[in-house]
Every structure is written in structure tokens, then in C-alpha cells.
């Protein structure tokens, strides 16, 4: 029997980083993404974000790829939101995304980070957050 534990922190943004994910609508979207993931056997451990981006902590199954998993979450969620006119304008996701592996010991820390995105972004823009991620990853690779 196979045992796979691949944890990935994924971040994607709205197209052109449009701030369309207002508070109440954002939670409705996140609830839907969670339910959709569950129906597709995607183990979504945490979801959160802010007005222009989404964070997810995903535990990949043995046959999953990051690209296919993100495609399923992004494509279906924008289609669902647009059919229901959830947002004032069409919800479109940027093509790119950020994905990084997470150690089992960091799961609670990452879940907390994802849950507190609104407070986090009162002090830091999405661009600054992304640069911070890249700097931390570069420093981590130097310490290996």
C-alpha cells in the first residue's frame, strides 16, 4: 500500500490582481472551493486569502500533480462564481501561481498564516508578500 504525504502551500491571484474578492463574497467562494475540492478527492487542508489572491494548503494524493490540482480548483471556481454572478465583474484568475512544499512540522504555522490573511495584508501588499516568500526560499536554499 502506498503512503504519500506531500504538502504544498499554493497561492494564486486574480487576473491583473484586481481586488474583486470582497469579504462576504470571498468566504462564499472559499467555501465553494473547499466543497469542490472535497468532491474531487483533493485534500484541501486550509484556504484563505485577501481581495486579490488565494492561499491553499493541499495534501497531494499519490496520483495528483500540482498543475492539475490547481487547474481543477481555479477553473471550476471561476466558472461557478461567474455563472452565479457572485462578483460585480467576471472572476478571472491569473495564469501563474506560486507553490512550495511544506514540512509536516510547519502545517499549523501555515494554517494560521492562511487564516490570518486579512490582518496580514493590512501591513503588507501582495507584491511585498511574494517578494518575502522568494527571499525566504532563497535563504533556505543557501542554508541547505
The stretches of 3-46 forming alpha helices (DSSP H) are 23-39
pLDDT at 131 over 90: no
Asked if residue 78 is part of any domain, the answer here is: yes
Quote the pLDDT of residue 132: 65
Cα 141 to Cα 19: distance, rounded to the nearest angstrom: 33
**Residue 90, domain extent:** 6-142
Q: Is the pLDDT of residue 98 over 70?
A: yes
Residue 96 lies in a domain: yes
The verdict on residue 113 lying in a domain is yes
In a domain, 60, yes or no: yes
Q: What are residue 2's phi and psi, to 5 degrees?
A: -80, 145
Is the residue at 1 inside a domain?
no
Confidence of residue 38 (pLDDT cuts 50, 70, 90): very high
CATH of the domain at 32: 3.30.70.1290
Q: Write down the pLDDT at residue 87.
A: 92
Query: Which residue, 28, 12, 1, 9, is CA-closest to 104?
Result: 9
> Is residue 92 within 8 Å of residue 15, measured between CB atoms?
yes
Is residue 119 included in any domain, yes or no? yes
Please tell me the least confidently modeled range out of 19-23, 34-38, 83-87: 19-23
How many domains is the chain partitioned into structurally? 1
Total-model pTM: 0.85
Q: Does the pLDDT at position 141 exceed 60?
A: no
Amino acid at each position: 500500500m502506498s503512503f504519500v504525504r506531500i504538502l504544498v502551500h499554493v497561492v494564486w491571484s486574480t487576473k491583473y490582481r484586481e481586488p474583486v474578492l470582497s469579504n462576504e463574497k470571498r468566504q462564499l467562494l472559499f467555501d465553494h472551493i473547499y466543497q469542490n475540492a472535497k468532491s474531487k478527492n483533493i485534500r484541501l487542508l486550509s484556504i484563505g486569502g485577501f481581495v486579490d489572491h488565494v492561499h491553499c494548503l493541499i495534501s497531494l494524493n499519490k496520483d495528483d500533480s500540482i498543475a492539475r490540482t490547481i487547474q481543477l480548483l481555479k477553473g471550476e471556481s471561476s466558472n461557478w462564481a461567474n455563472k452565479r454572478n457572485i462578483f460585480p465583474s467576471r472572476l478571472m484568475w491569473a495564469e501563474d501561481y506560486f507553490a512550495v512544499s511544506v514540512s509536516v512540522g510547519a502545517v499549523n504555522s501555515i494554517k494560521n498564516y492562511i487564516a490570518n490573511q486579512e490582518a496580514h495584508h493590512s501591513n503588507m501588499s501582495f507584491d511585498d508578500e511574494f517578494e518575502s516568500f522568494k527571499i525566504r526560499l532563497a535563504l533556505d536554499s543557501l542554508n541547505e
